Structure 1
Amino acid sequence: MSPSASTPSARPQKPLKPLKGLRILSLALNLPGPAALLRCRALGASCVKIEPPGPDTPGQTKASGDPMAHYNPVVYAALHEGIRVQTANLKTPAGQKALHRALAKTDVLLTSFRPSALPKLGLDWRALHKQYPALSQVCIVGALGTRAEEPGHDLTYQAEHGLLPGLDLPASLFADMGGALQATEAVLQLALLRHTGAPGAYLEVALADAAAYLALPRLWGLTAPGALLGGQHAGYRIYPCKDGRVAVAALEPHFAAALCSVAGLAATSDMQARATHRAITAFLAGKSRKQLEHIAIHNDVPLHTLPK
């Protein structure tokens, strides 16, 4: 193989900046909007956020009006790294003046208010589009259409789309983070549109739709209880081991054969048979996490060990 056709070197690649030069103004609070803004900044956008003033706090010169700053200041700081944050009360003439100064220098406005709140803040899309024809807006809402005014949160959207099978809270805020990714995708779409010379456009991103998209494998029956990826395949399950748990993902035939081989089964074993399940369960239960990690490396078995 010639050097030009060899595998790429391990040297880190310079990150792409497809949004370089794009100016984003965000009024979005909590998690989805700031997470989308942070991702857009990583893609090269110049990002400014205007948030309302927070409650007067003794000993502090500025208190954030973003609830996340009070829920979890560490997360708030991480979400706003590299973001220029300004404070303005948009319900006052001074705040409106500050807002429109910023809008005059903005390519994409990011909001997360209910649609009925936008006109009250001077953010009616028709008026904005008339005043700033090149401006685009991405509006993060809970749900689209007639449901846009309904109260909701990540948990209710996950529940709606079958992502909460039991009483335990979900491991992550999938609707919020999925919505942040979809909002970033919307900004990328608008950036492409901008390069065509088209006027600004308005796009809505719904957290309920983000949850619905993430729930598609369950809707398709792939991850439902007892389905192929819901426990039916012995090579795709979470098992107990001697000192913890092990997530096994030996789904493809060659991985399943490798798992069967180390477990003392025939490579052609039926991965859906109860006998295969019992044998693999017994094998893994007798191994420590360290032993299983060694097996994974030396036998090409995809697995990851976890504490109890």
Structure 2
Amino acid sequence: MPVTTQLPRQRALRGVRIVSLALNLPGPAALMRCRAMGATCVKVEPPPPVGSVPGTTADPMGVYNRAAYDTMHQGVRVLTADLKTEVGQKALHRELAKTDVLLTSFRPSALAKLGLQWSALRKQYPQLSLVEIVGAPGVRAEEPGHDLTYMAESGLVTGTELPPTLYADMGGSLMASEAVLQARLLQLSKGKGVCLEIALSEAANYLALPRAWGLTTRGAAVGGGHAGYRVFPCKDGRVALAALEPHFAAVLAKEVGLPKSNIMAMFMPDSHTAVAQWCAQRSCAELEAIGTARDIPLYTLPTA
């Protein structure tokens, strides 16, 4: 089943102009969200390496996965400029002179080398806001790191397998698009630009809060302790069962043949055994039909 992303229908950023210098995933993903909210978006990229195939992008994401790059840049005007040269700097500043928000993903020292630190920008462009995506906050912003290291630090890497998606990067992109909205509101209320820092490590920490609170640790309600909230094998695949709330759990218990009792009964070993056996005896199609008929939240994963 294809995965789709529901983008905002309301155009809250219509009339707002954003220039992005951010490469890889978090910045372009944030720009994609802003574009979907109606912003006019410009991406300034370095020139590709000398001798590159025509159409090559200097953004590493265009090399890792061109389809992902193209998706994130739909509707975005992409310019090429070497910011280490006078010509490139002039091209960028022509854009900044008519821009509301600048989005970056450089370390602070790299921004300073380009003359784009906040102290310089706010003097030259008082109305401009800066949203800085960094790896870690404050004094740690110069440390090397990536999505995987920030997830590991936040406790989201629990074995040797890689997580199924880039949680810190995508969480950071959502925080960055939220920061653009926040910056715009503050611009309108204060009459001048603001500087906001978004740290990918903080995005990972935010996504890890349920684990930090103990909600998803082993044996907790949504950590495998509740018999109605687990993934079970079935005849031809697996079923993700999410009958957590008391009314869902009661319907499941009745369907499985468990005696009627309070919610804590779903934490008992006998309940886990009964639900596991019930799932194992049924196909994905049968479970889907039962879920629809009995209003039980579940999703089947047939064996490929």
User: Do both proteins adopt the same fold according to a TM-score greater than 0.5, normalized to the shorter chain?
Assistant: yes
The equivalent residue for 2:254 is: 261
Q: In the TM superposition, what is the alpha-carbon distance from 1:64 to its structure 2 partner?
A: 1.1
The equivalent residue for 1:139 is: 132
Aligned residues: 294
The equivalent residue for 2:3 is: none
Q: In the TM superposition, what is the alpha-carbon distance from 1:198 to its structure 2 partner?
A: 2.4
The equivalent residue for 1:81 is: 74
- Unaligned 5+ residue runs, structure 2? 1-7
Instruction: Map residues 164-179 of structure 1 onto 2, 5 A cutoff.
Output: 164-179=157-172
Moved over 6 A (4+): none
Q: In the TM superposition, what is the alpha-carbon distance from 1:58 to its structure 2 partner?
A: 5.7
The answer to whether the Cα contact below 8 Å between 2:187 and 2:194 also exists between their aligned partners in 1 is no
Q: Distance in 1 between matches of 2:234 and 2:160?
A: 25
The equivalent residue for 1:277 is: 272
The equivalent residue for 1:306 is: 301
Q: In the TM superposition, what is the alpha-carbon distance from 1:254 to its structure 2 partner?
A: 0.8
Instruction: Map residues 101-180 of structure 1 onto 2, 5 A cutoff.
Output: 101-180=94-173
| Superposed CA offset, 1:136-156 (max 9, x none) | 000000001121111111000
Q: Distance in 2 between matches of 1:179 and 1:160?
A: 15
Higher mean displacement: 231-240 or 192-201:
192-201
Q: Distance in 2 between matches of 1:162 and 1:207?
A: 14
The equivalent residue for 1:289 is: 284
Q: Distance in 1 between matches of 2:66 and 2:288?
A: 37
The answer to whether the Cα contact below 8 Å between 1:164 and 1:170 also exists between their aligned partners in 2 is yes
The equivalent residue for 1:245 is: 238
Q: In the TM superposition, what is the alpha-carbon distance from 1:56 to its structure 2 partner?
A: 3.3
| Superposed CA offset, 1:72-117 (max 9, x none) | 1111100101100000000001000101001001000000000110
The equivalent residue for 2:5 is: none
The answer to whether the Cα contact below 8 Å between 1:56 and 1:63 also exists between their aligned partners in 2 is no
Q: Provide TM-score, normalisation by structure 1.
A: 0.93
Aligned with 2:91 (options 98, 101, 115): 98
Q: In the TM superposition, what is the alpha-carbon distance from 1:197 to its structure 2 partner?
A: 4.2
Are residues 59 and 205 of structure 1, via their aligned partners in 2, closer, same or farther at CA, if it must alter by over 3 Å? closer
Letter in 1 for 2:155: G
**Matched residue SS, 2:108:** coil
Q: In the TM superposition, what is the alpha-carbon distance from 1:69 to its structure 2 partner?
A: 0.6
Q: In the TM superposition, what is the alpha-carbon distance from 1:307 to its structure 2 partner?
A: 3.0
Q: Distance in 1 between matches of 2:260 and 2:247?
A: 9
Q: In the TM superposition, what is the alpha-carbon distance from 1:31 to its structure 2 partner?
A: 0.1
**Matched residue SS, 1:116:** helix
Q: Distance in 1 between matches of 2:52 and 2:137?
A: 41
Are residues 285 and 18 of structure 1, via their aligned partners in 2, closer, same or farther at CA, if it must alter by over 3 Å? same
Letter in 2 for 1:28: A
**Matched residue SS, 1:271:** helix
The answer to whether the Cα contact below 8 Å between 1:258 and 1:267 also exists between their aligned partners in 2 is no
Letter in 1 for 2:24: N
Aligned with 2:225 (options 232, 236, 240): 232
Instruction: Map residues 172-191 of structure 1 onto 2, 5 A cutoff.
Output: 172-191=165-184
| Superposed CA offset, 1:125-181 (max 9, x none) | 111110000000000000011211111110000000111111111011000000000
Higher mean displacement: 14-23 or 73-82:
14-23
Q: Provide TM-score, normalisation by structure 2.
A: 0.94
The answer to whether the Cα contact below 8 Å between 1:157 and 1:211 also exists between their aligned partners in 2 is yes
Q: Distance in 1 between matches of 2:202 and 2:254?
A: 43
Q: In the TM superposition, what is the alpha-carbon distance from 1:277 to its structure 2 partner?
A: 0.6
Percentage of pairs with the same residue = 61
Letter in 1 for 2:21: L
